[in-house]
Amino acid sequence: MAKKKNSWLAAPFGVWMAFFTLIPLGVVVYFALTDSAGAFTFDNLLGIGQHAGTLLRSIWLGAIATVLCLILGYPVAYSISRAKGVSQQTMVMLIMLPQWMNFLLRTYAWMTLLENNGLINKFLGLIGIGPLSMINTSGAVVLGMVYNFLPFMILPLYSVMTKIDKHTIEAAQDLGANGLNVFRRVILPLSVPGIITGITMVFVPAVSTFVISKLLGGGKDMLIGDLIEMLFAGTAVNYNVGSALSLVLMILIVVCMAVMNKFDDGEETGALIA
Amino acid sequence: MSNSVISLKDISVSFDGESILKNLNLDIDYGTFVTLLGPSGCGKTTTLRIIGGFVEPDSGDVFFSGERINDLPPHKRELNTVFQRYSLFPHLNVYENIAFGMRIKGKSESEIKDKVTAMLRLVALGGYEKRSVSTLSGGQQQRIAIARALANDPKVLLLDEPLGALDLKLRKEMQVELKRIQQKLGITFVYVTHDQEEALSMSDIIVVMNHGEIQQIGTPVDIYNEPENGFVADFIGESNIVDGIMHDDYDVEFCGARLKCVDSGFAKGEEIDVVIRPEDVVVIPVTDAKFCGTVLSSTFKGVHYEMIVEIPNQDEDWLIQSTVSQEVGREIGMTVEPENIHIMKKYTGDYAGDEEYADSAEG
Amino acid sequence: MKTLSKIYNILIFLFLYAPIVVMIIFSFNDSKSRTVWKGFTTKWYAELFGDQAILDALLLSFIIAILAAIISTVIGAAAAIGLKSMNVKLRNFMMSLNNIPMVNPEIVTGVSLMLLFVVVYRTTGLLQPGFGTVLLSHITFCVPYVILSIMPKLRQMNPYIYEAAQDLGCPPARAFMKVVVPEIMPGIITGMMMAFTLSLDDFIISYFTSGSSAQTLPVVIYSMTRKRVSPKINALSTILFLIVLFLLVIINFRQIRDSAKEREKEQVKG
């Protein structure tokens, strides 16, 4: 290809990203470090301490949801990756389909199912259990997260698993590994990159959600997303504190991802080549 | 049967309705270097995968040391494979790759260590234990794949075109290396290749295959000198194959010339194929010649000149090799010594040159 | 083992689809109840199409999605080609820039854009929250996905065909249109469709950047769910589900066809 000659084509993109990605992040930092009068201050960041409970709860619920997604999603991803041609494509599509339906509506559907006089309790009543109070609990929030983000776990896992060379698996069998050994010694370690991607793709939206906690948690136990929403678009507008929180959330996620990637590098150099 | 470590009896396989192997029978003796040789799609890789347990034959039996192993899954078979593209475990280093099979058998750490060291020495890669496999060159990866398979002390090592991805020089080196390893360990190697030169230089026994059928089994010398049919002759080395008539024992006619030969036992007047190796054609003055032709081209090949010669009333031009170049357009006389004339029954199938190179069925 | 994994998969798919199925069924329920079936009706659909606020929001969402898809595809396709011919250092920098909107939590992207628009509006009076700000935001988060769907196609492309075209006497610009563009067309179309669905589906970023004058459909839905009232919302979900289903089937069909073609190519090569 004509080297360099076409580079200018990326210029509009560069300018756009500078204006609408870098500068906005700069503005967030600016707001986080100033008071309402525009004077420099650390108060916003130092004030985060009083929201520590919210922050920890967000991380905790997000982590539970992520682990559940991994446990639930891994076997599905594996069996899809082993399926043949058309049925594989169909299953992938079936996983993607709900994901592309507006997630407010999906969450709303759960709202109606989990209600005290909702369908699940009606059903439980028929077999003599309940009614359980499910809506407006942390459990409902985690359920909502798992439901909405499960595909984000399954798809990267699946795509890494399909890239595992079938000859590598045959080589393991050839060297005496039975089904379990093949899984434990070859497939699991080779799917680590997918696990890492899946964890990030589930954890990031789960930890920062405000919709799921509002709809299924009833807004009782606030998450960091609720707090940010409140400070920017809700009842207690304060851009400075809100920016500080956003900054902390962002740093938190960057740190998490850096840790994950480190783990990935340490264990699995070359795993992506397969 | 008692001498055979592996016996295949009446094996047939087809994929998607396409027949890959047809009633294949093959006995492989202990301690031999056996090569399955044939063009792409001939069924050689499938044969190997049947022995390895990765392909189940539609019919027929597989015996290992006299025991039927059709239903034995790959991980329980006492043989190991060196795969086409090495298939090393990318997440494990060199040491762990070689240790893989022993770990599964639950061998002790010290035993594993000794074996890995010994294996690395065997393949001349001592000191590479800690290296990541992705940092190795193709040739080194190939050696590790061999070490990994041999670390399990298999009775038989299966090798599926293991040198195909290497460059020529490395390939030559590895051929010598593999032969040395096989002789040192004294175990059976079953080697798959489409490269006739490779097969000739390494094997004790060559099994030539085409279209899912065995064409000839024999030592490299037999296969080269006494090809049983036109396919083998054409596939092993370059040959001129011409129609001929056997007038009597030791008396053959081709290209309008009657020549003495060393073959007998054909019916009088039987139509046969005559195989002449390009290096066996002797150029002589036209006046003394039994048959003549016109030189169409002459190409310098290093050791000799390769010439294409048109002979009147023949469908195909001849290929001849000689250390002396002949002028293009000149008419030359030719003859062949009786022992260099190979007579074969008429072969009706395709020649190797007509093979389509589509390897999909062999996967 | 096989049946066990089959049963497990079915349970997971049940989990994924049960809420949607329930929602679709109850969109035809002749009652406001979300649990008791009172008979079949299509009145919620009728009511939905009589609701001007929803129809306006739907129209707005479509206009924004179409514009965002077209603009982000143009920017993204140009960028992908530009990036390909860039030196490695600069390209890596640009690619990490490209990653920011994808790894950043949506809420942070949303509030950062909101703050930008607030600041610009306060200082210059431009970019009042509304149609323009939503469109700008949507393009911003769509472009990275367009780039990511085109890049692999460019990587697969034989780099010499562009030179071959020029060698055969085609001027560079025309060689580019004749040879490179058709090669990466599948990526461009997938990217554009992805941008369209992402934009149509987006709630969080629109929520922070729309203001009161340009509420897209998801923003309107959100305010409806907050009030938890009409089964209209079920009817709306059903319709949107069918639209997405339709789009996905097309995308998926294209992918199956592409991969089949690639397989064919590989076989010919092999």
Q: HEC string of chain A?
A: CCCCCCHHHHHHHHHHHHHHHHHHHHHHHHHHCECCCCCECCHHHHHHHHHHHHHHHHHHHHHHHHHHHHHHHHHHHHHHHHCCHHHHHHHHHHHHHHHCCCHHHHHHHHHHHHCCCCHHHHHHHHCCCCCCCCCCCHHHHHHHHHHHHHHHHHHHHHHHHHHCCHHHHHHHHHCCCCHHHHHHHHHHHHCHHHHHHHHHHHHHHHHCCCHHHHHHCCCCCCCHHHHHHHHHHCCCCCHHHHHHHHHHHHHHHHHHHHHHHHHHHHHCCCHHHC
Residues from chain B contacting residue A84 (CB–CB below 8 Å): none
Length of chain C equals 270
C35 touches chain B (CB under 8 A): no
Residue in the block written with tokens 């006739």? B196
Nearest-Cα distance to chain B for C257, in Å, is: 19
Rounded-to-integer distance, Cα B50 and Cα A266, Å: 39
B45 touches chain A (CB under 8 A): no
Percent of chain A at pLDDT > 70 equals: 93
Break chain B into its structural domains and give their ranges: 4-225, 238-347
Question: What is the pLDDT of chain B when averaged over all its residues?
Answer: 87
For A173-202, write each residue's pLDDT tens digit: 999 998 889 989 999 999 999 999 999 899
A9, A23, A208 ranked by CB distance to C116: nearest: A23
B76, B83, B134 ranked by CB distance to A270: nearest: B134
Residues 6 or more apart from A33 whose CB is under 8 A from it? A40, A41, A42, A44, A45
Question: What is the pLDDT of chain C when averaged over all its residues?
Answer: 85
Q: Which residue has the higher pLDDT, A270 or A31?
A: A31
Confidence of residue C261 (pLDDT cuts 50, 70, 90): low
Q: What are the DSSP calls for B107-134, one per residue?
A: --HHHHHHHHHHHHHHTT-TT-TT-BGG
Q: Is the pLDDT reported for residue A158 higher than 60?
A: yes
Nearest-Cα distance to chain C for B102, in Å, is: 27
CB B34 within 8 A of CB B183: no
- Going by their DSSP bridges, the two strands B240-248 and B18-29 should be labelled as unpaired
Q: Is the pLDDT reported for residue A214 higher than 60?
A: yes
For A49-58, write each residue's pLDDT tens digit: 889 999 999 9
CB contact under 8 A, A170 and B74: yes
Percent of chain B at pLDDT > 70 equals: 95
Instruction: Find the Cα–Cα–Cα–Cα dihedral B59, B65, B69, B73, rounded to 10°.
Output: -130
Q: Is the pLDDT reported for residue A136 higher than 60?
A: yes
Model pLDDT, residue A269: 37
Nearest-Cα distance to chain A for B45, in Å, is: 13
Break chain A into its structural domains and give their ranges: 52-273
Nearest-Cα distance to chain B for A199, in Å, is: 20
ipTM (interface predicted TM): 0.86
Question: What is the pLDDT of chain A when averaged over all its residues?
Answer: 86
Residues 6 or more apart from C150 whose CB is under 8 A from it? C76, C77, C80, C81, C184, C187, C188, C191
Mutate to test the interface with B, among A161, A174, A192, A263 (most CBs of B within 10 A): A174
- Give the mean pLDDT of A92-114: 83
Least CA distance to B55: which residue of chain A? A170
C79, C163, C241 ranked by CB distance to A10: nearest: C79
CB contact under 8 A, A115 and C34: yes
Distances (CA, A) of A240 to A227, B165, B200, B314, B353: 13, 62, 81, 95, 78
C78, C119, C225 ranked by CB distance to A104: nearest: C225
Least CA distance to B148: which residue of chain A? A175
Model pLDDT, residue B179: 92
Least CA distance to C264: which residue of chain B? B360
- Give the mean pLDDT of C144-154: 91
Model pLDDT, residue B357: 36
For A77-89, write each residue's pLDDT tens digit: 999 988 887 788 8
List the alpha helices (DSSP H) in C40-171.
Answer: 43-50, 52-84, 88-103, 106-124, 131-156, 160-167
Rounded-to-integer distance, Cα A119 and Cα C35, Å: 5
Model pLDDT, residue A49: 87
A20, A150, A205 ranked by CB distance to C106: nearest: A205
For C173-211, write each residue's pLDDT tens digit: 787 788 888 888 989 998 998 899 889 889 999 999 988
Rounded-to-integer distance, Cα A19 and Cα A16, Å: 5
- Give the mean pLDDT of B20-33: 93
Query: Which residues 189-208 of A are in CB contact (within 8 Å) with B?
Result: 189-190, 192
Residues 6 or more apart from C197 whose CB is under 8 A from it? A100, C65, C244, C247
For B100-158, write each residue's pLDDT tens digit: 999 888 899 999 999 999 999 988 898 999 999 889 988 899 899 999 999 989 999 99
Q: Which residue has the higher pLDDT, B223 or A235?
A: B223
Model pLDDT, residue B131: 92
Percent of chain B at pLDDT > 90 equals: 43
Q: Which two tokens stand for residue A3?
A: 């080297």
Break chain C into its structural domains and give their ranges: 54-226, 230-270
C267 touches chain B (CB under 8 A): yes
Nearest-Cα distance to chain C for B164, in Å, is: 13
Confidence of residue A240 (pLDDT cuts 50, 70, 90): very high
A6, A208, A233 ranked by CB distance to C208: nearest: A233
C85, C109, C114 ranked by CB distance to A232: nearest: C114
CB contact under 8 A, A176 and B104: yes
CB contact under 8 A, C85 and A1: yes
Model pLDDT, residue A272: 33
Model pLDDT, residue C229: 59
Rounded-to-integer distance, Cα A217 and Cα B281, Å: 93
Query: The domain C54-226 belongs to what CATH superfamily?
Result: MetI-like (1.10.3720.10)
pTM beyond 0.95: the answer is: no
CB atoms within 10 A of CB B123: 22
CB B325 within 8 A of CB B302: no
CB C203 within 8 A of CB C120: no
Chains that touch A (3 or more CB pairs under 8 A): B, C
Pick the CATH number of A52-273 from 3.30.830.10, 3.30.70.120, 1.10.3720.10, 2.40.40.20: 1.10.3720.10
Residues 6 or more apart from B162 whose CB is under 8 A from it? B82, B83, B84, B86, B142, B145, B146, B174, B178, B191
CATH architecture of B4-225: 3-Layer(aba) Sandwich (3.40)
Rounded-to-integer distance, Cα B188 and Cα B156, Å: 5
CB contact under 8 A, A9 and C9: no
